[in-house]
Each structure stands twice: as C-alpha cells, then as structure tokens.
Amino acid sequence: MKQKVIYPLLKLAVVSAALFWLSRRVDFAGVWRVLSEAKTGWLALAALLVLVPVLIAGFRWKILLGTLGIRLPAGRLALICQIGQFFGVLVPGLAGDDGTRLLYVSRLAPGRASQACSTVLLDRLIGFCCLFALSLVCIPLNWNLLSTQSSTRAVAIGFLVAGSAVIGSCALLFCLSRSQLETLVQLVRCRFPASRIAGEWAAAADIFARNKAALSVVAVAALCAQILICAMYWTVGMAVGIEVSLLVWTSFVPVIALAGVLPITFAGIGVRDYLLFLFLGSSLHGGGDRLAALSLLLLGYTLFSALLGGVVYLFHRAKPASQVLPSPSPVTQY
C-alpha cells in the first residue's frame, strides 16, 4: 500500500524538480511568444507523423502474429496500439503500453495466449534494436555536434557501446540456424522443465526461426517508424524556429525515446526536457525559449495521442481472432 503512494509521489517530485529547473532557464513570456508564432503547417504535419507510427505498429504486429497462425486485421491491432498510448501515459514506462497489448492479445487469441504475448515482447525488442541501429549510423555522422560537451560526448559513446552490444547479440541470434536455435531453446527448456510457458515460447522460437523473412520486414517497418518519430521532432522544431537538420535529430532522438521508457516520470516530463537542452542547448545560442516551447508542444502531441487512445478505448471491443491455428507440435519436442 505504501508503494502505491510513494511511487507516484516520487514521480511527481521528478516532474516538479524538472519544472523548477526549466523555470530557471527560460522566460515564460518568451516561450508564449514562440508558441504564438509557431507555424501551423509544420504543426499539422507533426500531428500526422504522430499517428503514422501507430499504424506501422499494427502492421508489424499483424506480421508477427501471422507467423504463429493468428490472423488479425492490422487495423484492429493498430487500434490496440493506440489504446496502449493512452495507458502508456497513465502508467509510465513499458508497463502501460506493452501491458495493454499483452492484455488484449491474450483475449484475442484464446488457447495461444502465451505465444501471442511473445509477439509483443519480440516487437519491443526489434524496436529497441532499430533505435540502436539508427544511432550507430547517425551518431558518427554528427560527432562534431555531439562531442562539443563532455556530457553529450559521454552519452554518445555509451550509446554506441550499448548499441554495438545489442545489435551484435541480435545479429548473432538471427544468424543462427534452426538447429542451433533449437539447441539454445532446449537448454532454456531444460532449465525450466516444469514451465508450460517455456514450452510454448520454445514453439514460438521455432516458428520465428522459420520466418526470418517476416522478421526482416518487421525490422524494416520498425526502422521506418523510428525515422518518422525523428521526423516528428524535426517538424515541431521547424514550427518553433529550430532549424536543425533531420540527420541531427536522428542522432539523439533515439536516446530520448529510450530514456522515455524509464518509469520515473509522467509522459516523459523532465527527462525529455533535460535531454533536449543537453543536446541542443549549446548549439542554439539564446534558444532556451524555443527549446522550452518545443518541449511543451511535444508534450501536447503525447497527450493528443493518449487522448485519442482513450477515445478508442471507450468504444473498442476486443473480438477473438478470425483464425487461430492450434499450437504447433514443436511444443512437445522440447
């Protein structure tokens, strides 16, 4: 009971500290002036870019479920992803977004819930890998900007090291043959012999191993979604007069995205603001008001997406998949 009270209070403290820190760095009258002069065309484009990654998420999820023989329309899955945006604001971190998707897919695929839920976690893993992959390409291209401060240089180097480790590990797993993957899964199965979930995950791993082409499509789609998110930041920046190239945004927006999943604040307040000032503060002389306006607009788009998800949640009713094939035989082989 105490944790239910203390944890929200800690997050509220983080938000309060962030707002206090921000108030010492900007002139709110100047921020309001920047907001009032924002270019509506760029803002409208940003609103569209907020929605497109959700549609791509539904498409990715449809492909992953399809490899398991679970047939669901991409549109319905996109609606669930949109609902996840709503709960992602209410419950910070991955628990809100992914927890919502896990709940819905367990209802949509009765009898295959564990395997269906594995697609949510796999999709999240692929998304993280794409964030790191994007950074591995873009951080070196923008090294002159990122290396001007010791703090940004340290973050960039840490991200490059972590990204190299993650991408290398995933590439190694992806390159394993089916027999090698089966051996690896069997080791896990032997470690948890009484776990039915481990057996079903073993079957899912076997199916995914035979559908590497599908995983490649999902990875490309996830990479496109991350680029669109970077483009959304770029368009909002252009709306408030921050004329930084899209390539520059792609070098540190992945850092902001990964930091945003930490369950330490509400809707990314504080974390996003600090990182924006960290990465762009030194390159925008006197641009604190514009960065604060940018941060407020990004918060507004986050709440807009969450509100849209809340509306969908009120009217959407989960229906079982039109086709759910029985659990494949590899479950009994491990």
How far from 68 is each of 63, 114, 115, 270, 323, CA to CA, in Å? 9, 11, 8, 40, 11
- The answer to whether residue 130 is domain-embedded is yes
- Residue 323's φ and ψ, nearest 5 degrees, are -150, 120
In whole angstroms, what is the distance from residue 240 CA to residue 291 CA?
8
**What pLDDT is attached to residue 331?**
38
Mean pLDDT of 232-244: 91
More confident site: 178 or 52: 52
Of 95, 151, 133, give the one whose Cα is nearest residue 230: 133
pLDDT of residue 57: 93
pLDDT at 234 over 90: yes
Q: What is the pLDDT of residue 55?
A: 94
User: In which band, very low, low, confident or very high, does the pLDDT at 194 lie, cut at 50, 70 and 90?
Assistant: low
Q: Rounded to whole angstroms, how far apart are CA atoms 153 and 139?
A: 10
Instruction: Check pLDDT > 90 for residue 235.
Output: yes
Residue 300 near residue 268, CB atoms below 8 Å: no
User: What is the distance in angstroms between the CA of the first residue and the CA of the last residue of the chain?
Assistant: 41
Element (H, E) at 324: strand 323-324
Q: Give per-residue pLDDT as tens, 12-41.
A: 666 666 666 666 666 677 788 888 989 999
Structure-model confidence comparison of residues 122 and 322, the more confident one: 122
* CA Rg value for the chain: 21
Domain that holds residue 16: 2-321
- The per-residue pLDDT for range 113-159, each reduced to its tens digit, is 777 888 888 888 888 888 888 888 888 888 887 777 787 888 888 88
Q: Which of 30-34, 121-125, 218-222, 318-322 has the highest mean pLDDT?
A: 218-222
Q: How many alpha carbons lie under 13 Å from residue 179 in its C-beta half-sphere?
A: 0
Answer for the pair 235, 49: CB distance below 8 angstroms, yes or no.
Answer: yes
Paired tokens of 81: 């992803």
> How does the average pLDDT of the chain come out, rounded?
79
DSSP structural state of residue 149: S
Chain centre to alpha carbon of residue 285: 31
Residue 330: is its pLDDT beyond 50? no
Is this structure's pTM higher than 0.75?
Answer: yes
pLDDT value at 334 more than 50: no
Extract the tokens encoding 55: 């549609």
Q: Is residue 332 part of a domain?
A: no
Is residue 326 in a domain? no
Contact 146, 248 (CB under 8 A): no
Q: What is the pLDDT of residues 68-109, one digit of tens each?
A: 888 888 999 999 999 988 888 777 656 677 888 888 888 888
| Helices 196-209/178-191 angle, 10° precision | 170
What does the alpha-carbon distance between residue 13 and residue 258 come to, in Å, rounded to a whole number? 21
- What is the band of 173 on the pLDDT scale with cuts at 50, 70, 90? confident
Q: Which residue has the tokens 């549109």?
A: 75
Q: Is residue 327 part of a domain?
A: no
Q: What DSSP string runs through 106-173?
A: HHHSTT-HHHHHHHHHHHHHHHHHHHHHHHHHHHHHTHHHHTTSHHHHHHHHHHHHHHHHHHHHHHHH
The DSSP letter of residue 60 is: H
Q: List strand residue ranges (DSSP E) for 50-101, in order.
A: 70-71
Return d(Cα 176, Cα 162) in angstroms, integer. Answer: 22
State percent of the chain over pLDDT 90. 20
pLDDT at 329 over 60: no
Cα–Cα distances in angstroms (integers) from residue 253 to residues 130, 171, 233, 297, 312, in the given order: 12, 23, 8, 15, 28
Tally of structural domains, the chain: 1
Residue 143 in any domain: the answer is yes
Residue 138 in any domain: the answer is yes
Per DSSP, 284 falls in state S
- The answer as to whether 8 is a domain residue is yes
| Cβ proximity of 110 and 320 under 8 Å | yes
Give percent above pLDDT 70 in the chain.
Answer: 74
Nearest to 17 by CA among 300, 325, 307, 264: 264
